[in-house]
Amino acid sequence: RAVRAVEILSWMGKALAYRGDRVATPALKIIIDLLNDLITSSLNYSPHVTHAAAQGFGIMMADEGEWRFSDVYGVKMSKFYRQRIFLQNYTSLMASLATDSKSISGKSAERQSVIKTNALLALSHLMQHAPTASVKPSLPKLIPHIMRALGSSSVSPSTSNDTDKMKTSLKISALFAVFKLLDRTMVHIDPYSDVLIDSCLQFTRFRSRKEVRIVALKCLKLLVNLPYHKLHRRKRQVVNELAEVLDDPKRVVRKVARECRNAWFMLKGNLTRL
């Protein structure tokens, strides 16, 4: 029931932000407090509520498919509503990541770890959907956290463990956020090429969602635009591992896999900067 209430609050916050209403700001503040366990700490703690608050930012920022308000009802979107949500909440979410769990009385290190995981999930939702121009100034601080999430230990998509589910959700959201950046700019990505390659190769075998496999393959294809000296030692590994994806049960995935593998197979350059 509490998780459902957070989801409803997220939709209400989205509706208010959509129309540019000032009440959207306190609604977002409540969601931030729920994420940071500032409201539920006196009750029975539930990581599901914290996770729902983080996912609420995905609800508020996304505007396609099931997350879009229907135009049938004459909904009009306020200009720059995504920019406002990003700018209003970026600082608070970064503060949640910077908090030292030892300095928080009454909260275990495990609980604080869950809060940090979900704060990063919320940030990845913001990063994924906010305009690049709004996100770009914050990239030097954001990218290390996002890459750390992508580089975390692999998790099975079929796991029933709640903590593992949260980590998997975070990694997927981070992957989509990085894809958006790669599609527009390579700035700040260069030092993390190995982390990205490993993570994308892992996600090409993520059987639960074909969309995740497709985005992972598209990320790998975009990475060929990095300097050759960053990629040459990984070329054979990527080409060999992508051969397995050519047998994916989904035709659209096989098509993207062929394009990605060909791009890596044709990768050429010089090593003068080694």
146-177 tens-digit pLDDT: 888 887 765 555 555 667 778 888 899 999 99
Q: Give me the mean pLDDT over the 176-180 stretch.
A: 90
- Of 183 and 266, more confident: 266
pLDDT of residue 158: 54
- Whether residue 62 contacts residue 69, with contact meaning beta carbons closer than 8 Å, is answered with no
- Residue 269 predicted with pLDDT over 80: no
> What is the residue-averaged pLDDT of the chain?
84
- Residue 241 predicted with pLDDT over 90: yes
Nearest of 42, 32, 199 to residue 119 by alpha carbon: 32
pLDDT of residue 73: 62
- Residue 242 predicted with pLDDT over 90: yes
- Residue 248 predicted with pLDDT over 90: yes
CA distances, 63 to each of 67, 73, 82, 155, 180 (Å) = 5, 15, 10, 28, 15
- Whether residue 182 contacts residue 222, with contact meaning beta carbons closer than 8 Å, is answered with yes
What digits encode the pLDDT tens for the residues 105-133?
445 777 888 888 889 999 999 998 898 88
The residue behind tokens 């995935």 is 253
Nearest of 27, 29, 33, 36 to residue 9 by alpha carbon: 27
pLDDT of residue 271: 59
User: If residue 248 lies in a helix (H) or strand (E), which one and from where to where?
Assistant: none
What digits encode the pLDDT tens for the residues 5-38?
999 999 999 988 888 888 888 989 999 988 887 6
Within 13 Å, how many C-alpha atoms sit on residue 137's CB side? Answer: 7
- Residue 95 predicted with pLDDT over 70: yes
Alpha helix (H) residue ranges in 19-80: 24-35, 47-61
Kindly report the CA angle at 234 between 228 and 236, in degrees rounded to 5? Answer: 110
What digits encode the pLDDT tens for the residues 182-240?
877 776 788 888 999 999 999 999 988 999 999 999 999 999 998 888 899 999 999 99
Q: Give me the mean pLDDT over the 32-61 stretch.
A: 79
What digits encode the pLDDT tens for the residues 79-91?
788 999 999 999 9
pLDDT of residue 140: 87
pTM for the model stands at 0.83
Separation of alpha carbons 105 and 122, rounded Å: 24
Weakest mean pLDDT among 51-55, 103-107, 138-142:
103-107
pLDDT of residue 116: 87
Q: Give me the mean pLDDT over the 252-269 stretch.
A: 93
pLDDT of residue 19: 85
pLDDT of residue 155: 52
Q: Give me the mean pLDDT over the 231-256 stretch.
A: 94
Separation of alpha carbons 205 and 270, rounded Å: 31
